[in-house]
Chains A and B, each alone.
Chain A
């Protein structure tokens, strides 16, 4: 079974530029998560999708971050404009459901963003 795919693996941009990350979850997984992991910290949830609907985006800085999951499969996360403090690893994860409840999340390798 293929895992969660993310691209690109690395990205370096200047502040105020825009950037987009792509995620392809495990086939059949209805739930998709985007996490931000700043160096030395645990992952922090940015947004959770169930199919193509947003379940929780309370910690997403909506003035600069946006995410979509068209057709309930692939997802993109965009930052515009980027700030220095956005430098982090952006992790995508997906999970399936069992008896109506989400199971464990499987993670991609992440995209390391450096804003200079």
Chain B
């Protein structure tokens, strides 16, 4: 069965600083990988996805993520954080196939200091 680990419950950064959120997955082959963001009281918005090909994936809002097969990781990065980036971030994994089921990590709460 697939699973996702987000080791950091909270991350605090200063506005303008760089950001890296960690995500490790467990799956026997190359999965589909996703990062979603959730603002308070809102649903989940897709930031970026990896299905195949280039392991460095660009997403919306200036985010990027890198798939590293050897480390079973898909860390999310942003070079300069804005106060509006404060939210909950979820990494998800899905098994490629006709009916994959996205499995989510527990989330990382990003706090941005002015």
Residues of chain A whose beta carbon lies under 8 Å from any beta carbon of chain B: 4, 31, 33, 35, 40-45, 48, 50, 55-56, 91, 93, 97, 100-102, 104-110, 112
Contacts and interface: CB of A to CB of B under 8 A. Distances in A.
B92 to A, nearest CB: 8
A108 B100 CA distance: 19
Nearest to A91: B43
Contacts of B43: 4, 91, 107-110
Contacts of A104: 32, 34, 46, 49
Interface in B18-73: 32, 34, 36, 41-46, 49
B84 interface: no
Which bucket holds chain B's interface residue count?
20 to 34
A45 B42 contact: no
B101 A45 contact: yes
A32 to B, nearest CB: 12
Q: Rank and list the top 10 A-B pairs by shortest CB-CB distance, nearest first.
A: A42-B104, A107-B43, A107-B44, A109-B43, A42-B106, A55-B99, A43-B104, A104-B49, A42-B107, A110-B43
B102 A100 contact: no
B74 interface: no
Secondary structure type dominating chain A contacts: strand
B45 A107 contact: yes
Nearest to A58: B101
A102 B49 contact: no
A105 B102 CA distance: 8
A29 B2 CA distance: 24
Nearest to B9: A40
23 contacts: A35-B104, A41-B106, A41-B107, A42-B107, A43-B44, A43-B90, A45-B102, A48-B99, A55-B99, A55-B101, A56-B101, A91-B43, A101-B96, A101-B97, A101-B100, A104-B32, A104-B46, A104-B49, A105-B46, A105-B102, A106-B46, A107-B45, A112-B41
